[in-house]
Amino acid sequence: MSAEEDRAAAKVQSMKRGNDARQQVKEGKSARKVQSMQRGKKSRKGGDALVHVIETANFARFEKMIESGAEATPDALRAALKSPIRAFGSMLVSNQSTWGVNHKMLDVWNRVQKALNPPPPGEDEEEPEEVDVSSEEWQAELATAVYKEDPDGKFLVQQVVALGCYSISGGRQVHDATKEKEFDTAVTAREGYGVALMPKGAVYAGSFVADAREGNGVYKYTDSTCYCGEWKGNQKHGEGRMVFKDGSVYEGAWRYNKRHGHGVYTYTNGDIYYGMWFTGAKHGKVHPSPSSFPPPEPRLTLTLTLTLNPHADSDPNPNPGPNPRPNPNPAPQPQPGQVPLRLDGLAIHGGVEERAAGREHGARERRLQVLQRVRGRRALGCGRLCALQRQPGEGRAQPAAQGGGRGGGGGRAAQGVNVGGRRGGRRRPHERRAARRAVRGGPTPAEESPRHRHHVW
């Protein structure tokens, strides 16, 4: 029995050890999963997310992430310089986390800039004393404060004060093995992408060619003026965007450090100069801001109701009598503030302020004047009126009564027109030509030559 109990106890202990091992593995997997999720969340919140936003050119999202304190990385600055939106680089170059400079050298550089440009004192504070950053005593104190007991600390401080500092991952030319270095710590010229911190406080991040700024880069001056664009031989050359210290912005063409070509200058008050530049001088027109325009004049929106009324000019019942017959097509009554206008059977009800109604009314008056001139002319001395016998306000001429004969009442004779005994009112060719001349306003044959005045047709 003792042997069986021992085997049972060993089996229980083995199962317990297996359960403990499985529990440890499970806990380890859970911990690694949590760490991975945290790293992913941090990555999405920081530089990787900024790079994605910059590549998709979503500037509104980029501003929100910067305001919320998203972590910027050197990769985000490099992506910003490749983007056609220059504002990305102008905003990221001020963030020291995007420079990729050694943290101790960056600390030295910040202390040097603080000594060169001390902050203004408060009301109860005294003005700080001027510091000579080139003195050996000050440099020795700074080296001891930053590098402690490092023997190279004093040399590194001198390098930052005299030359500035360069990013760790900054590119440099390959050393020519056939040439001997002047000293052991000599370095080659800067080449490719890098971030350079100038001794006086300026910062450049971008492309270098043979130790000169060339290609795309962003340069932040000591007075907070920032240029982001193309460079050539340490000069602004190409397309670029500059934000000045007063807030005005210029974006356009540059030639050898001068604004030359087409560009847009936005002033602090919102005015915009849009046009050409010639060696730094404006050469075009100024477009004022929308806020400076006078308020628009109020406009009246009126609706014209056009109703075709064939009885607008003729009353179907001239003598109504005791039982007048109702008009099947009554003219629409004008609304308050409207003036009724009648134009050849077309009733127009327009507002008093409507200019189109006035133009139509003027055209109608001109047509009536033409008709009056035509009626006043005699046709070729035979005592007969010209065409267009209708009086103002009349409708279309009624059809002639049936009848005929020489001198009879048929045709146009029924309308009271002296047809001179012609059948059906038919005119001769010379009569038609005279009528056409009368309509055009030209002289009649009787007026052109005296021999026609006494001629009997």
pLDDT at 291 (0 to 100): 52
3-state helix, strand, coil in the chain (%, to 5): 35, 20, 45
pLDDT at 330 (0 to 100): 61
pLDDT at 393 (0 to 100): 47
pLDDT along the chain (457 residues), means of 10: 78 84 84 71 60 89 88 90 91 91 92 88 77 89 90 89 88 80 74 92 93 94 94 94 94 93 91 88 67 55 53 49 58 59 45 51 74 60 43 45 44 43 63 78 55 45
pLDDT at 313 (0 to 100): 46
pLDDT at 354 (0 to 100): 46
Q: Report d(CA 418, CA 147) in Å as an integer.
A: 127
State the amino acid at position 400 in one-letter form.
A
Helix (H, G, I), strand (E, B) or coil at 30: helix
Nearest one of 383, 380, 386 to 446, comparing CA atoms: 380
Total-model pTM? 0.55
Q: Is 321 left (phi over 0), alpha (psi -120 to 50) or beta?
A: left
**Domains by residue range for the chain, with CATH:** 99-118+133-176+183-292 (2.20.110.10), 301-311+334-395 (no CATH)
* Long-range pairs of 294-300 with CB within 8 A, sequence gap ≥ 24: 300/351, 300/353
Maximum CA extent, the chain: 167
pLDDT at 378 (0 to 100): 44
Nearest one of 141, 183, 179, 146 to 165, comparing CA atoms: 146
- The helix (H) or strand (E) run that includes residue 272 is strand 272-278
pLDDT at 218 (0 to 100): 95
State the amino acid at position 414 in one-letter form.
A
Q: Report d(CA 54, CA 74) in Å as an integer.
A: 13
